[in-house]
């Protein structure tokens, strides 16, 4: 188990949703946290540990932001959670602009931050976790979310590319993809649940009952802290994240 109190953790996309829960959990586990989003947020004072939360208001998709924040804060852990809420429409009702929104946000953010982590480079022993989506594992993708499932699959691919480049360069940096299932309380999950419940002719509560234990920001936070504290040698390249926790993917 690694100690988090000496490891600055940047959480990208921390103002709301899963990222807010993840930033809070790292701070409660004792980490100095840098919470990045385009808007400032309220955070409770960390309850159980000596961690802190410092906010950075920035567009994480801006080409210069990742390198600048890595240089300023010297993180040893980076968790990329930020992403756009997809336009929940069938294919024929999308425009290219609505279809590509997650490519222009989620993939762009992963591209700039993974690149910056390699170029800095982050110090030996560092961890980078990219939050993709369980939608990228569905054989049929996510038919009501435009380019979402493909964008989230691309995030998993480029996280693997970053791991390959790190190994080849002898950098001791671990890159991991986490693929959550529905978290209905947060922005992306709320929109998806409403659309898929309507498509199946179910009420939202009935639809959610059929999903089993549901993910929320607290569970996501605990799972990310668990990953950051695990021995790097024991980490898988990718995990699914359910309401009952992480499940390793081959």
Question: b or e along 135-159 (b: 16 or more beta carbons within 10 Å of the residue's beta carbon)?
Answer: bbbeeebbebbbbbbbbbbbbbebb
Is 176 one of the binding residues for ligand NAP (CB under 6 A)? Answer: no
User: Which among 155, 159, 150, 153 is positioned nearest to 99, based on CA atoms?
Assistant: 150
Q: How far apart are CA 223 and CA 245, in angstroms?
A: 6
Neighbours of 94 (CB within 10 A): 19
Which one of residues 76, 105, 142, 174 is an interface residue with ligand NAP (CB under 6 A)? 105
Diameter of the chain measured on Cα atoms:
53
Tell me the site size for ligand NAP, rule CB under 6 A.
32
Give the dihedral of Cα atoms 134, 213, 234, 141; nearest 10 deg: -10
Q: How far is the CB of 237 from ligand NAP (least distance, A)?
A: 17
Is 32 one of the binding residues for ligand NAP (CB under 6 A)? Answer: no
Is 150 one of the binding residues for ligand NAP (CB under 6 A)? Answer: no
x-or-dash string of contact with ligand NAP, 54-93, rule CB under 6 A? -----xxx-------------------xxxxx--------
Is 116 one of the binding residues for ligand NAP (CB under 6 A)? Answer: no
- Contact (Cβ atoms closer than 8 angstroms) between residue 84 and residue 110: no
Name which of 6 and 68 has its Cβ closer to ligand NAP.
Answer: 68
Q: Name the one range near ligand NAP by CB under 6 A: 9-17, 92-100, 158-166, 224-232.
A: 9-17
Q: Where along the sequence are the contacts to ligand NAP (CB under 6 A)?
A: 13-19, 36-39, 59-61, 81-85, 105-106, 131, 133-134, 180, 182-183, 186-189, 192
């Amino acid at each position: 188990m690694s100690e988090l109190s000496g490891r600055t953790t940047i959480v990208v996309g921390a103002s709301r949703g899963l990222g807010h829960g993840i930033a809070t959990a790292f701070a409660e586990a004792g980490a100095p946290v840098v919470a990045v989003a385009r808007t400032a947020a309220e955070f409770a004072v960390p309850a159980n540990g000596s961690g802190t939360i410092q906010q950075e208001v920035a567009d994480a998709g801006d080409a210069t932001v990742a390198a600048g924040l890595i240089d300023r804060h010297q993180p040893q852990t980076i968790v990329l959670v930020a992403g756009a809420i997809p336009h929940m429409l069938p294919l024929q009702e999308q425009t290219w602009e609505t279809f590509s929104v997650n490519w222009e946000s989620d993939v762009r953010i992963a591209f700039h931050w993974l690149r910056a982590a390699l170029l800095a480079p982050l110090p030996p022993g560092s961890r980078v976790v990219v939050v993709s989506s369980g939608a990228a594992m569905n054989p049929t993708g996510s038919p009501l979310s435009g380019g979402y499932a493909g964008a989230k699959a691309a995030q998993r691919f480029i996280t693997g590319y970053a791991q390959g480049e790190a190994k080849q360069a002898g950098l001791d940096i671990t890159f991991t993809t986490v693929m959550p299932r529905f978290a209905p309380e947060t922005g992306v999950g709320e929109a998806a649940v409403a659309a898929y419940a309507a498509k199946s002719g179910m009420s939202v509560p009935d639809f959610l009952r059929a999903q089993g234990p549901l993910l929320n920001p607290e569970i996501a936070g605990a799972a990310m802290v668990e990953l950051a504290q695990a021995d790097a040698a024991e980490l898988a390249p990718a995990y699914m994240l359910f309401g009952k926790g992480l499940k390793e993917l081959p």
